[in-house]
Each structure stands twice: as C-alpha cells, then as structure tokens.
C-alpha cells in the first residue's frame, strides 16, 4: 500500500471549505498508475468566492499595507515551515510528478525551499521599493518626486504539471512579497503540493484571503483569467494556452506574466575535441523524461563531429536507467500521463516519416509493464524544418542537426518561434559568450570543455542565472523567462518580485 494524500477542502479566505465544490479530482502516481490522493474540484461559484476573498484581502486587509520588512518576516516563517516538512514534501512531489530523487533535491523540493528563503532576502536587499529624486528649488519653492513600487493587486496564478511545487512557489511567494493577494490553481494532474503550500501559509499566519488555493481544470483557469476583479495573471504552461489566456485577459487589460514553451538549441562549437563530444546533451535533454520547458532538445553539431558523437551516444545509452523514480540509480522517470506518452510516440513517428535517423530509443521500455515510461530517444541527420525540430515534444527526445559554419549554427538556433533557453559548448569561454549573446533566448548557458580560457569568477552573475554559490542558478539575482513566443516577463530574484508591482510617481511642489 503506497502513501496517500487526500484533501477534503479547498483553502479560501483563510479557512478550509468544501462549499461549491463540484466533484473530486483523483490523482495518480505516473510511475505506478496507482491512486495516491484526491482534492476537491472547484466549481465556478467556488472560484468566484476565492477571487472575492483575494479582492477583499487586497482592498481592505493589512497585507498590501504591511512594510516589505514585515512581509519578509512572514515569508521567512513560511519558508521555515516548508523546510521542517521537507521530507514529507519530497515524498509527495516525487509521487505526484514522477520526479527522480536527485531532481527533487536540486530543484523540485530542496532547491525550491532555498528559493523561498532567497525571495525573502531579495525583497529586503535587492528590490528598490522607493526612488527619491533630490528636491530642487523652483519658482514656487521646493519641488521633486518620488517613485514608489506598489502591489499590482489580485493575482491569478495558474501552473503546469512538470515542476508543480517549484512553479507554485516561484509564483506565489514573489506575488506575496510585492504585497499582492493570490488565487492559486495548480494543474489538475498535480494539485496535491499546492494544498501543502496552503497549510504552510496558514501556519505562517498569513492574513485571511491573502493566499487562496483551489483545484480544477481549464474552466476554472478560464474564469480566473476573465474575472474583472483579477488584476494580473501569472501563468506557466504551453504557448497554446498562453495565447488563449492573453486573449481572455485582454477585455479587462490584465497585467500578464507568461512563462511558456520552448524548443531550445545547444550549439556545439567546432573547437570541442572529438574525445569530449560523446555524452553531450544526452542526460540533460532526457532529464525528467524531457518534461522541462528550457531543456535543450535540439543539438547543433559540426559535421565533422557527428560520427564520434553517435559512437559515444550509443555507448552511453545503456547507462540511462529508466524506471521507478524512488530507486536511487534511476535517471529517467515516467511521463506524466498516457496522453503525453501517446503525444511523444506521434512525434517520434513524424521524425521517422520525415527522414530523420533514429540512433536509439523510439519505444516504450519492455521491462516496465506499469507507468507511463518511454525510452530515451536520439535522432540524428535531422533538419530544422522537421516537426521534431520545430515543435515542443515534452518527452525524452533529442534531435541532432549538423551545420557547416558558426553563422549557420546561430541562424538555425534562432529559427524558431520560441526563445526560452539555449546553450553553447565550446573549448573557449570567451568565444562561447560571444555566441551566447547572439542566441535570441532568455536563458543561455556556456559550457567550456577543458580549462576555462577566461576567468569565469570575474564575470560575476553576468551569465544567465549563474552564480558561484548557488548551483541551481536562482539565488536573489537569477532571472528566468522567454523571448518571442516563449513568454512575457521574468521570474526569479528581485526581477520576479518587481513583476508584481506597479510604479507610481508622486510629485510635490
Ligand atoms: P497547459 O498549458 O496544458 O496547462 C497549464 C495550466 O493551464 C493548467 O493548470 C491548466 O489547467 C491551465 N489551463 C488550461 N487551459 C486553460 C485556459 N483556457 N485558461 C486558463 N487556464 C488554462 O500546460 P502543461 O501541459 O501543464 O505544461 C507543459 C507546458 O508548460 C510546456 O509547454 C512547457 O514548456 C511549459 N512550461 C513552461 C515553463 C516556463 O517557465 N517557461 C515552465 C514549465 C513548463
């Protein structure tokens, strides 16, 4: 008998309630297909009650009027409570999202709790809440102005299934830090951890209505994005849903923060020696079964390195253990649902139909009868006009395209509707930075093979989210978000808090 997490009530206006629920959402573990818990499904009436509670808490409650310093104290308490429950949360998140253990440690849970602490630090140290111009003498006496940051208002937060706890926290806490009030709706497949976030909010003494947590599918999301009492939507999910939300939010001109899909490219430069090329991008593109928005799923390889790459990749394929995420040597867990696995299969078939060469994978693992597993899959000799190179697969599939010149590689990397992530692998860090600057994406990594040729320490945090003492790259200065159709706005660090503020200028004379 596996663990179960059942929640009978939603969290609205500081209280647990089942009023106006319309059903029960059953949650399954994608690795075992067994039921692991349930949450109540909100109807439209309950959704409106949550929005109204957030509105009252914003208009009449203390939270938006509390000083940033005092809000930071509450957020620190919030983070400390999550920290105390860390082991419990890790078990829950691994079961609901199919995450392997090391990923739960780096980002899904442990890393997320670190981020919760950094948000409190960033709001105190890095956000400029007021900017005062020195008063100047004028014909009527002294004059001047002050620019202040004020909270946007009521925020609707809507999240996807792949990194549920992480994405719930990086939306909710920055919004709270700014003084906003929030209605959180997690994905219907992974709603459990959001109810634990609600419990932590209550235990941290957040005032009633400041955070409300409800569960439901697209209809609930649609109500949240059209409702006139909502001022801002922060959304992470597919570009298709992002477009629908943008249209839905237009009549009431809501502020938008959209973190959408990607088809990120890594460029291997021609200065990488043949004996270093073997495993490149294999593990990083298959991580979380490929269910990551900024995963570099297109690899651009110089023609002369292809044979060495294929030989090395074939050798490394056997070390990519697919299986139960709870086994410590598992690298690749399941896809979230059968529907997603069928989608990956359709993309793999399209790759074959369009003439790409399958090196390994391309099927379900024979040894796993239960769970939505799929083998790590590598295509080479692909072209950038194939569907496997243009569309987001969201599965463990890497597509390799060869190129002749650096200019061609940059052009192919940028030939995409998306602009979320990117990478450069090089033997020369300075050259890598130069190429990184030409990739039209919000988050680019430079990986130097061999000893660095410039002093990377001296570059400080100028790399994308890079920081020496913060291995997952978030910290108080890291930033994350997309160019082009990968989104609008930025998350993480002080930028992520400032997204939830309006600038107001107050002049005096
Ligand atoms: P999705 O768009 O299907 O669903 C995301 C959320 O939107 C869910 O909570 C869903 O219930 C809700 N929703 C669906 N239709 C809606 C509507 N019409 N109005 C309002 N809400 C609606 O995305 P998904 O399949 O859960 O997640 C995978 C996608 O998320 C991928 O495209 C991935 O790249 C993207 N993603 C982006 C980032 C990022 O930071 N850029 C991070 C993680 C995932």
What are the catalytic residues?
259
Residue of 238, 339, 422, 484 to test ligand 1 pocket, by largest number of atoms within 8 Å of CB: 238
Please calculate the CA angle 45-29-183 and round it to the nearest 5 degrees: 30
CA dist 45 and 440 (Å) reads: 43
Q: What pLDDT is attached to residue 140?
A: 73
The partner residues of 25 in beta bridges, in order of sequence, read 39
Asked if residue 422 lies in contact with residue 296, where contact means CB atoms within 8 angstroms, the answer is yes
| Cβ neighbours for 161, distance < 8 A, ≥ 6 positions apart | 97, 187, 189, 190, 291, 336
CA dist 92 and 78 (Å) reads: 18
CA dist 299 and 107 (Å) reads: 24
Q: Which atom of ligand 1 is nearest to the CA of 239?
A: 32
Q: Which atom of ligand 1 is nearest to the CA of 420?
A: 41
Nearest to 418 by CA among 283, 254, 293, 270: 293
Beta-strand relationship, 296-302 and 357-360: unpaired
Residue of 96, 160, 183, 486 to test ligand 1 pocket, by largest number of atoms within 8 Å of CB: 160
345 Cα–ligand 1 center, Å = 20
CA dist 251 and 253 (Å) reads: 6
442 Cα–ligand 1 center, Å = 19
Sign of CA dihedral 219, 225, 230, 233: positive
Q: What pLDDT is attached to residue 303?
A: 98
CA distances from 275 to 10, 42, 301, 432 (A): 55, 56, 14, 19
Q: What is the pLDDT along the chain (509 residues), one digit of tens a residue?
A: 579 999 999 999 999 999 999 999 999 999 999 999 999 999 999 999 999 999 999 999 999 999 999 999 999 999 999 999 999 999 999 999 999 999 999 899 999 999 999 999 999 999 999 998 888 887 777 788 899 999 999 999 999 999 999 999 999 999 999 999 999 999 999 999 999 999 999 999 999 999 999 999 999 999 999 999 999 999 999 999 999 999 999 999 999 999 999 999 999 999 999 988 888 899 999 999 999 999 999 999 999 999 999 999 998 888 899 999 999 999 999 999 999 999 999 999 999 999 999 999 999 999 999 999 999 999 999 999 999 999 999 999 999 999 999 999 999 999 999 999 999 999 999 999 999 999 999 999 999 987 544 444 444 433 333 344 455 566 777 899 999 999 999 999 999 999 999 999 999 87
Q: What pLDDT is attached to residue 275?
A: 87
241 Cα–ligand 1 center, Å = 6
178 Cα–ligand 1 center, Å = 24
Q: Which atom of ligand 1 is nearest to the CA of 259?
A: 41
84 Cα–ligand 1 center, Å = 30
Residue of 241, 394, 492 to test ligand 1 pocket, by largest number of atoms within 8 Å of CB: 241
Q: What pLDDT is attached to residue 469?
A: 47
Residues near ligand 1 (Cβ within 6 A):
158-162, 185, 187-188, 217-218, 221-222, 225, 236-238, 241, 244-245, 259-262, 293, 392, 394, 420, 482, 487
Give the closest residue (by CA) to ligand 1 atom 8: 187
Nearest to 445 by CA among 413, 417, 416: 413
H or E element: which one contains 147?
Answer: strand 141-151
Domains, in order of start, for the chain: 15-259+486-506 (3.40.605.10), 263-471 (3.40.309.10)
240 Cα–ligand 1 center, Å = 8
**Three-class SS state of 255:** strand
Nearest to 439 by CA among 466, 414, 469: 414
Q: What pLDDT is attached to residue 79?
A: 98
Q: Which atom of ligand 1 is nearest to the CA of 480?
A: 40
């Amino acid at each position: 008998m596996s663990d179960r997490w059942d929640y009978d009530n939603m969290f609205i206006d500081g209280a647990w309630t089942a009023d106006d629920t319309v059903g029960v959402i059953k949650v399954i573990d994608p690795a075992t297909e067994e039921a692991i818990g349930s949450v109540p499904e909100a109807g439209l009436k309950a959704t409106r009650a949550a929005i109204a509670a957030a509105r009252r808490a914003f208009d009449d409650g203390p939270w938006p009027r509390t000083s940033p310093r005092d809000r930071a104290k509450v957020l620190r308490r919030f983070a400390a409570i999550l920290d105390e429950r860390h082991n419990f949360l890790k078990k829950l998140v691994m079961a609901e999202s199919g995450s392997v253990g090391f990923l739960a440690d780096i980002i899904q849970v442990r890393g997320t709790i670190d981020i919760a602490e950094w948000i409190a630090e960033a709001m105190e140290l890095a956000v400029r809440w007021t900017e005062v111009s020195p008063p100047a003498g004028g014909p009527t006496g002294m004059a001047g102005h002050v620019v202040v940051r004020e909270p946007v208002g009521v925020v609707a937060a809507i999240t996807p299934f792949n990194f549920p706890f992480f994405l719930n926290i990086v939306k909710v806490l920055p919004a709270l830090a700014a003084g906003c009030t929030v209605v959180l709706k997690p994905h219907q497949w992974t709603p459990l951890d959001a109810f634990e976030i609600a419990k932590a909010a209550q235990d941290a003494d957040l005032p009633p209505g400041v955070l409300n947590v409800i569960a439901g599918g697209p209809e609930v999301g649609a109500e949240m994005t059209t409702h006139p009492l909502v001022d801002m939507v922060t959304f992470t999910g597919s570009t298709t849903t992002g477009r629908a939300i943008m249209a839905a939010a237009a009549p009431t001109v809501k502020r938008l923060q959209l973190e959408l899909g990607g088809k990120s490219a890594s460029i291997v430069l021609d200065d990488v020696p043949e004996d270093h090329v073997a495993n490149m991008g294999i593990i990083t593109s298959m991580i979380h079964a490929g269910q990551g928005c900024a995963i570099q799923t297109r690899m651009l390889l110089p023609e002369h390195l292809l044979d060495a790459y294929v030989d090395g990749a074939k050798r490394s394929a056997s070390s990519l253990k697919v299986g139960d995420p709870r086994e410590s040597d598992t690298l690749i867990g399941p896809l979230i649902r059968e529907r997603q696995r069928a989608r990956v299969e359709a993309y793999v078939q399209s790759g074959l139909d369009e003439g790409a060469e399958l090196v390994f994978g391309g099927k379900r693992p024979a040894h796993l009868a239960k769970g939505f597993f799929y083998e790590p899959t590598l295509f080479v000799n692909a072209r950038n006009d194939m569907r496997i190179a243009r569309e987001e697969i969201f599965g463990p599939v890497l597509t390799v395209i060869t190129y002749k010149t650096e200019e061609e590689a940059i052009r192919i990397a940028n030939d995409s509707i998306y602009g979320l992530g990117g990478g450069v692998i090089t033997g020369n860090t300075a050259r890598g930075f130069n190429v990184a600057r030409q990739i039209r994406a919000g988050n680019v990594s430079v990986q130097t093979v061999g000893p660095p040729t410039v002093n990377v320490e001296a570059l400080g945090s100028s790399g994308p989210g890079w920081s020496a003492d913060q291995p997952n790259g978030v910290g108080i200065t890291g930033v994350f978000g997309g160019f082009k159709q990968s989104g609008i706005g930025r998350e993480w660090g002080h930028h992520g808090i400032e997204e939830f503020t309006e600038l107001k200028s107050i002049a005096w004379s």
